[in-house]
């Protein structure tokens, strides 16, 4: 079945991304350019995942406006994260800001 | 100094659980929305549970559910999963020197359980210069807490998904975004990292229209290239291989002797 194949394939490549380097490092020297590129992988991938979720929250139409509560809350969360480096605080402030801004926008448009 | 002599398997294990707590809080809505999204994307409840149990990679599962809903071929979903999870290779590379002494019966499960969250707390644990030889128990505590929570939240999400047809309307989908913003703030601390994030973010927006989340792959590749280029241009601004992160108790540990 398709789902079995899907889960098996995903499990295989995910384990392949996590496990082998735990064992090989120390026994095998990775080329310098590979190590340099790897440093940027989480930065680039995480950013590429979140920006579309912030700018295209509802449809395929970009929303660069104050009425986009995802954008407003993400900017506030980024400022909190930058200043505090505290992940939990960032999550809590970001989520509250999203709900608060959505509520404010609903009041404004009433 | 007395602390250094009191490390046991269980104190390490529970310290790992405790330090992972803030990140589990972020993963709770993320897991619930994955469960809900998976069933609304047409994945069966057992398929969603199996994905959480055997793949155990939040953002990749999220992207996979979206691709599945769009009718993408299995091969495309698997390739996208690989790219999204490639960052774990970096985490493994960074942790490996601390885990050289461990036998396979430790390395295989810890490798399987390696997530953004556990990496963040475990790498912070390894920056503490105490002599504890049991830091793998700390990793185990962090990993088991994350894993158990993920399975439970997936299950709750599947049940919620039937009751609430559109969980995004509740803003739950935003939990993953703010969690990632919090984690990014630990990495993005200098010019090359900022350039890499900026280029990846902008390209992800420009390439949003591409089918099958190809935009994500293109944006990630260009962001990595831009980061490397900018590092070559600003040699004074090297990105550190691992940025130790402050979790609550990592911050406390700095005050400890």
Reading the block at residue A76, the tokens are 């506030």
- Tell me whether residues B55 and A40 touch, CB distance under 8 A: no
Asked whether residue A51 is domain-assigned, the answer is no
Predicted local confidence at residue B247, as pLDDT: 38
With the CA atoms of B174, B180, B186 and B192 taken in that order, what torsion angle do they form, in degrees rounded to the nearest 10? -110
- Tell me whether residues A14 and B85 touch, CB distance under 8 A: yes
Same domain, B149 and B196: no
Asked whether residue A110 is domain-assigned, the answer is no
Place A1 in a pLDDT band, splitting at 50, 70 and 90.
Answer: low
- Tell me whether residues B228 and A102 touch, CB distance under 8 A: no
CB < 8 Å & 24+ apart, contacts of B211-216? B211/B70, B211/B72, B212/B67, B212/B70, B212/B72, B212/B76, B212/B80, B213/B63, B213/B66, B213/B67, B213/B72, B213/B80, B215/A48, B215/A52, B216/A45, B216/A48, B216/A49, B216/B63, B216/B80, B216/B83, B216/B84
Predicted local confidence at residue B12, as pLDDT: 94
- Chain A touched by B252 (CB under 8 Å): no
The model's pLDDT over A5-47, given as tens digits with 9 standing for 90+, comes to: 999 999 999 999 999 988 887 666 778 888 788 778 888 988 9
Predicted local confidence at residue B212, as pLDDT: 63
Q: Closest-CA residue in chain A for B188?
A: A43
- Chain B touched by A106 (CB under 8 Å): no
Q: Whole-number mean pLDDT of chain A?
A: 89
Predicted local confidence at residue B203, as pLDDT: 96
Same domain, B131 and B231: no
Q: Closest-CA residue in chain A for B20?
A: A88
Same domain, B57 and B174: yes
Predicted local confidence at residue B255, as pLDDT: 33
Place A73 in a pLDDT band, splitting at 50, 70 and 90.
Answer: very high
Same domain, B158 and B213: no
- Chain B touched by A96 (CB under 8 Å): no
pLDDT in tens, chain B (257 residues): 445 557 899 999 999 999 999 889 888 888 888 898 888 788 999 999 999 999 999 889 988 887 887 778 899 899 889 988 888 887 898 888 888 889 999 999 999 999 988 988 898 888 777 878 899 999 999 999 999 999 999 999 999 887 776 666 677 678 778 888 987 887 788 899 999 999 999 999 999 888 766 788 899 899 999 999 999 988 766 655 444 333 333 333 333 33
Q: Give the ipTM.
A: 0.87
- Chain B touched by A40 (CB under 8 Å): yes
Asked whether residue A11 is domain-assigned, the answer is yes
Asked whether residue B66 is domain-assigned, the answer is yes
Predicted local confidence at residue B150, as pLDDT: 97
Asked whether residue A39 is domain-assigned, the answer is no
- Tell me whether residues A2 and B200 touch, CB distance under 8 A: no
Tell me the residue range of the domain where A20 lies.
Answer: 1-30
Same domain, B175 and B201: no
* pTM confidence score: 0.73
Same domain, B173 and B111: yes
Tell me the residue range of the domain where B235 lies.
Answer: 187-240
Predicted local confidence at residue B169, as pLDDT: 67
Beta bridge partners of A28: A25
Asked whether residue A78 is domain-assigned, the answer is no
Beta bridge partners of A25: A28
Q: What is the DSSP string of B127-169?
A: HS----TTHHHHHHHHHHHHHHHHHHHHHHHHHHHHH-S-GGG
Asked whether residue B256 is domain-assigned, the answer is no
Same domain, B122 and B207: no
- Tell me whether residues A74 and B181 touch, CB distance under 8 A: yes
Q: How far is B194 from chain A (nearest CA, A)?
A: 9
Same domain, B57 and B102: yes
- Tell me whether residues A70 and B209 touch, CB distance under 8 A: no
Q: How far is A72 from chain B (nearest CA, A)?
A: 12
Predicted local confidence at residue B253, as pLDDT: 37
Predicted local confidence at residue B242, as pLDDT: 47
- Chain B touched by A5 (CB under 8 Å): yes
Asked whether residue B245 is domain-assigned, the answer is no
Nearest Cα residue to B196 out of A92, A55, A39: A39
Domain boundary among B155, B179, B203: B179
Predicted local confidence at residue B210, as pLDDT: 83
Q: Which residues of A touch B60 (CB under 8 A)?
A: 10, 14
Predicted local confidence at residue B240, as pLDDT: 54
Q: How far is B137 from chain A (nearest CA, A)?
A: 16
Predicted local confidence at residue B239, as pLDDT: 57
What domain count does chain A have?
1
Q: Do the beta carbons of residue B19 and residue B250 sit within 8 Å?
A: yes
Predicted local confidence at residue A26, as pLDDT: 63
Q: How far is B23 from chain A (nearest CA, A)?
A: 7
Domain boundary among B161, B179, B197: B179
Q: How far is B239 from chain A (nearest CA, A)?
A: 7
Q: How far is B4 from chain A (nearest CA, A)?
A: 26
Asked whether residue A25 is domain-assigned, the answer is yes
Predicted local confidence at residue B245, as pLDDT: 39
Asked whether residue B3 is domain-assigned, the answer is no
B103 Cβ contact partners less than 8 Å away, ≥ 6 residues apart: none
Same domain, B54 and B121: yes
Q: Closest-CA residue in chain B for A63?
A: B205
Asked whether residue B153 is domain-assigned, the answer is yes
Predicted local confidence at residue B184, as pLDDT: 86
- Chain B touched by A60 (CB under 8 Å): yes
Q: List B residues 124-163 in contact with A (Cβ-Cβ < 8 A).
A: none
Predicted local confidence at residue B120, as pLDDT: 83
Predicted local confidence at residue B202, as pLDDT: 96
Same domain, B210 and B133: no
Predicted local confidence at residue B246, as pLDDT: 38
Same domain, B15 and B54: yes
What domain count does chain B have?
2
């Amino acid at each position: 079945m398709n789902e079995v194949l899907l889960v098996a394939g995903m499990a295989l490549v995910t384990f392949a991304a996590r496990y082998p380097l735990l064992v090989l490092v120390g026994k095998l020297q990775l080329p310098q350019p590979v190590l340099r590129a790897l440093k940027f992988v989480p930065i680039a991938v995480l950013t590429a995942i979140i920006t579309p979720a912030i700018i295209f929250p509802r449809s395929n139409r970009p929303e660069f406006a104050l009425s986009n509560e995802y954008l407003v809350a993400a900017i506030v969360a980024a400022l909190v994260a930058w200043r505090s480096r505290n992940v939990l605080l960032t999550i809590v402030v970001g989520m509250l800001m999203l709900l608060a801004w959505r509520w404010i926008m609903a009041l404004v448009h009433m | 100094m007395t602390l250094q002599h009191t490390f046991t398997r269980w104190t390490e294990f529970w310290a790992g659980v405790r330090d992972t707590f803030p990140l589990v809080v972020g993963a709770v809505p993320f897991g619930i929305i994955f469960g809900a999204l998976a069933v609304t994307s047409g994945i069966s409840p057992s398929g969603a549970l199996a994905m959480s149990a055997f793949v155990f990679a939040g953002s990749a599962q999220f992207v996979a559910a979206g691709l599945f809903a769009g009718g993408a071929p299995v091969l495309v979903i698997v390739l996208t999963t690989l790219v999204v999870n490639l960052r774990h290779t970096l985490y493994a590379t960074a942790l490996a020197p601390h885990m050289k002494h461990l036998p396979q019966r430790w390395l295989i499960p810890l490798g399987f359980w390696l997530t953004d969250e556990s990496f963040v707390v475990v790498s912070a644990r390894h920056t503490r210069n105490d002599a504890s030889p049991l830091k793998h128990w700390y990793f185990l505590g962090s990993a088991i807490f994350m894993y158990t929570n993920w399975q439970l939240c997936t299950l709750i999400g599947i049940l919620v998904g039937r009751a609430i047809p559109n969980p995004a309307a509740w803003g739950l989908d935003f939990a993953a975004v703010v969690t990632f913003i919090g984690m990014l703030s630990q990495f993005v601390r200098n010019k090359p990292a900022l350039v890499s994030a900026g280029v990846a973010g902008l390209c992800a927006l420009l390439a949003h229209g591409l089918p099958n989340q190809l935009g994500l792959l293109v944006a990630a590749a260009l962001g990595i290239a831009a980061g490397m280029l900018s590092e070559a241009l600003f040699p004074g601004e090297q990105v550190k291989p691992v940025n130790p992160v402050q979790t609550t108790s990592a911050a406390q540990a700095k005050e400890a002797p």
